[in-house]
Amino acid sequence: MTNDLTPHPDPEMNQFEQDLLLSIQQAKRGEGRVTSGAEIARRMAGRPPLAVHKQPVTLRMAPDALARWRASGKGWQTRAATMLAAHAPA
């Protein structure tokens, strides 16, 4: 690959410039992945809004009960909320 730019004194920046030129050349040849504006907009849209929002609450629990929930692993708050919802008064 020929580089028409004067090499940058910073080796990391010089490597970045070389990689950027290589990417541009590949895009011109139709190689690699080309991202459209619509695809970029779709990626930036994020998670769709929920129909029902959860509400934060403060709940006082016995220390040993809280320790058991936390020891049950990742997602313990969701499991606890599901259990509370299942046993809520009608």
Angle of CA points 82, 87, 90, to nearest 5°: 120
- Between CA 2 and CA 45 the distance in angstroms is 39
For the segment 50-90, what is each residue's pLDDT rounded down to a tens digit? Answer: 888 889 999 999 999 999 999 999 999 999 999 999 999 98
Claim: this prediction has a pTM higher than 0.75: no
H or E stretch covering 11: helix 11-28
Q: What is the mean pLDDT of the chain?
A: 86
The distance from CA 41 to its chain's CA centroid, rounded to whole angstroms, is: 15
Q: What percent of the chain has a predicted confidence (pLDDT) above 90?
A: 40
CA distances from 13 to 1, 23, 24, 27 (A): 17, 15, 16, 21
